[in-house]
Chains A and B, each alone.
Chain A
Amino acid sequence: MTTAPIAIRIEELRKTFRIPEHRVHTLKERTLHPLRRDKFDEFEVLKGVSFEVVQGEFFGIVGRNGSGKSTLLKCLAGIYRTDGGTIAVAGRLSPFIELGVGFNPDLTARDNVLINAVMMGLTPREARARLDEIISFAELERFVDQKLKNYSSGMQVRLAFAVMIQSDPDVLLIDEVLAVGDAAFQQKCIDVFYRLRGEGKTIVLVTHEMGLVERFCHRALKLSGGKITHIGDPAEIGRAYLSENFATVDSSHLQGSESAQIRLVDAWVTDTSGARIDAVSFREWLRIHVVLEARQPISRPGVSIWLSNEDGVRVFAAGARENGEALADLEAGERLEFSIIVQNPLSAGRYYVGCGVTQGSAGLEILLFRNRAADIVSYGADLHSLVNVEFEPSVTRTHPQREAIT
């Protein structure tokens, strides 16, 4: 990477919340018990976080709930006062936006947009000049003079997103915006992300959606317990995040090929004749096998296998069925072989076979989770997509103007 100028520099950032055990809520209590000190539980949310984001970088922040990522963003946005360390930002910062943005429900969209834009640092004149653009980006022309309390949450987020984009900040902070809003608007946001990335804007995105991070972010960091545990390549962070998520469902042995309940004996790929292969041509048939051995009785087991690419993106997954029904219970020591046969739809590259086993009808109790049990290289087709699916093309031609004349 070239030595691009730094857009955000955070050094040893600390933030502690004091959660009152007994809170003095009124002046009355304060006067009646003048000597009683407020007791606090100190809750250290950020424990010395340092990183830099260079200009034009799309930076992702992931972490489980309570890991401190929103607090980090709020400190960055200047909403919380920090307890230690420094934050420096180059240029104008967009506000941090999230669900239920800082709008006044009693005001119309027009007034809210003006106030919000001025808060972001535009002059009232600039704000008025951009009002139409903002409203049309949010696709809310018909509702400009409606009070915000009559808006749906999706409409509010659209409006907030539009204000943020149009106020032309140098650094954008985005927190889980795509969670609401319909598919069309989500697509629009994604288009905007691509555009902003092209324009060299610096963007910090906080999300749970690993797909987004892997798709857009140049770099990412993962927070855990108020500390940075990983920083760097988004795909790697994505894997770390997912494994951390699953790790808490059960303990660490999930990642391995065995657990107390079940063992993955083998996973491999063959051609139609049954010979093991490590490469397969596009459109050729292949069979993916896994063999599992139960160590303890397993009730209502669920077995699935999947293929994922180098970036950790799952291409497809398949669940095991027995005579068209859910799998019967497994006895201790019983072996189960599950295989699927598919015609290779994959673009050229290396793919990995993953296997997972769950217990219980809801499939929530994960017994085994193994991402890279075997691998296979696909060749012969460099598609501009991950997979190629069968389709039937159809074309019709019309000429509305000419038909209107006749």
Chain B
Amino acid sequence: MTTAQPELRRISGPSALGGGGRRFINLTWLVATTDFKLTYFGSVLGYIWSFAQPLLFFGVLYLVFGVVLANTFVKVADFPVLLLMNIVLFNFFQGATGTAVSSVVVRENLVRKMHFPRLVIPLAVVCTAAMQLVLNLLVVLLFMLIYGLQPRLTWLLMPVIALLFFVLSCGVAMLLSALYVRYRDVAPIWGVISQALFYASPVFITIDSIEQHGQTITRFYMCNPLAAILQQARHWIIGNSPSTAEVMGGYGWVLIPTAIGIAICVLGFYVFHREAPRIAEEL
């Protein structure tokens, strides 16, 4: 019996990508949607439950900073909706990267037994979180309309904001998940850092409070890619606030957070790519 004769192909061992782009995308999508279904269709309240958490958090923060300590901070226009949007965006970043840290180790039995591009694992985690982000942002838009915000043309730029967050999260996820295989204290360390980032980004302490301290401090503050994206989101979606470039004093300055963001992604990919072939043995 003779069938079509396949070519002899070299087996090069496990890698971060490898195995064809189509298969990579299929696999990432499938793993992400399966996880998404598992998380949100497993419980009775499903999706509502998943939105309750950021909403409750919003309630607490609003009560503390918008009502109780209202006079301590600079008055910000449309603070409630701004706060809600910021929380949803930051929550995505924190959730995606936090889950990604241990993702490769958690899927140990898969990694040790199957040949597939290793990068699928952290990216699928970020994709799952991104699906939730899309739903959450729709709810946020709904809240904005109820609140009485006038719909603006720049609302259409929301996907750009989400995409920037997505890319940045992917970079951090790659870096952390690869490091975690070797160094198990990456998880608690990242827990602290991401908590610090929450305060170091304009989530509830807005740029209006920072600007009081002068241009240099403001520029330094905006070097954080998260701060840069959040400020731009505020400019486009909520309004009444300058764009990131205006805050920093020129488009040239925006290159700094952009470069930092790109550097994180490149570093993340580099580290993951270097570790990928040995992950199965290091576990």
Contacts and interface: CB of A to CB of B under 8 A. Distances in A.
Interface of A: 5-6, 9, 17, 24-28, 30, 55-56, 74-82, 86-93, 95-98, 100-104, 106-107, 111, 114-116, 118-119, 121, 123-124, 170, 199-200
A347 B105 CA distance: 57
- 6 nearest A-B pairs in the assembled complex, by CB-CB distance: A91-B6, A81-B13, A102-B113, A78-B115, A26-B185, A81-B277
A77 B115 CA distance: 7
Contacts of A82: 13
B8 A6 contact: yes
B27 A118 contact: yes
30 contacts: A5-B5, A24-B182, A27-B189, A55-B5, A75-B11, A77-B115, A78-B11, A78-B13, A78-B14, A79-B14, A79-B113, A79-B115, A79-B280, A80-B13, A80-B14, A81-B277, A87-B11, A90-B7, A91-B6, A102-B112, A102-B114, A107-B34, A107-B38, A111-B37, A115-B30, A119-B115, A121-B23, A123-B22, A123-B26, A170-B6
Contact of A114 (B6, B30, B179): B30
Interface string B13-40: 1100001001100110111001001100
A27 B27 contact: no
A131 to B, nearest CB: 13
B152 interface: no
A123 B20 CA distance: 12
A90 B31 CA distance: 28
Interface of B: 1, 3, 5-14, 19, 22-23, 26-27, 29-31, 34, 37-38, 107, 109-110, 112-116, 179, 182-186, 189, 277-278, 280-281
A17 B116 CA distance: 21
B10 A106 contact: no
Given A27-B186, A107-B38, A111-B34, 11 more contacts: A25-B183, A27-B183, A27-B185, A79-B114, A86-B10, A90-B9, A91-B6, A97-B113, A119-B115, A123-B22, A124-B26
Contacts of A17: 281
Contacts of B30: 114-115, 118, 124
Contacts of A86: 10
Contact of A81 (B14, B26, B38, B107): B14
Given A107-B38, A123-B26, A80 B113 contact: no
B27 A119 contact: yes
Contacts of A26: 183-185
A116 B114 contact: yes
Given A80-B281, A90-B5, A104 B183 contact: no
A268 B72 CA distance: 106
A106 B35 CA distance: 10
A29 to B, nearest CB: 9
B9 A88 contact: yes
Nearest to B22: A123
Nearest to B113: A102
Among B115, B185, B186, which residue has the most Cβ atoms of chain A within 10 A? B115
A17 B14 CA distance: 16
Contacts of B6: 90-92, 170
A103 B109 contact: yes
A48 to B, nearest CB: 17
A100 B108 CA distance: 12
Contacts of B23: 118, 121
Contacts of B107: 104
A199 B113 contact: no
Contacts of B113: 79, 95-98, 101-102
B11 to A, nearest CB: 4
A380 B13 CA distance: 56
B114 A88 contact: no
A88 B27 contact: no
B183 A79 contact: no
Contacts of B29: 124
A200 to B, nearest CB: 5
B273 to A, nearest CB: 13
A79 B113 CA distance: 7
Nearest to B107: A104
A75 B281 CA distance: 11
B115 A199 contact: no
Nearest to B7: A90
Contact of A80 (B8, B110, B114, B280): B280
Contact of B116 (A90, A101, A104, A119): A119
Contacts of B109: 100, 102-104
A95 B31 CA distance: 18
A172 B223 CA distance: 53
Contacts of B8: 6, 9, 88-90
Contacts of A27: 179, 183, 185-186, 189
Contacts of B7: 90
Given A78-B11, A79-B112, A28 B34 contact: no
Contacts of A30: 183
A106 B31 CA distance: 13
A298 B26 CA distance: 68
A96 B107 CA distance: 17
Among A17, A25, A81, A98, which residue has the most Cβ atoms of chain B within 10 A? A81
B11 A89 contact: yes
Contacts of A76: 11
Contacts of A170: 6
B5 A119 contact: no
A27 B273 CA distance: 20
Nearest to A110: B34
B77 to A, nearest CB: 43
Contacts of A80: 13-14, 280-281
A87 B14 CA distance: 13
Nearest to A111: B34
Among B37, B116, B186, which residue has the most Cβ atoms of chain A within 10 A? B116
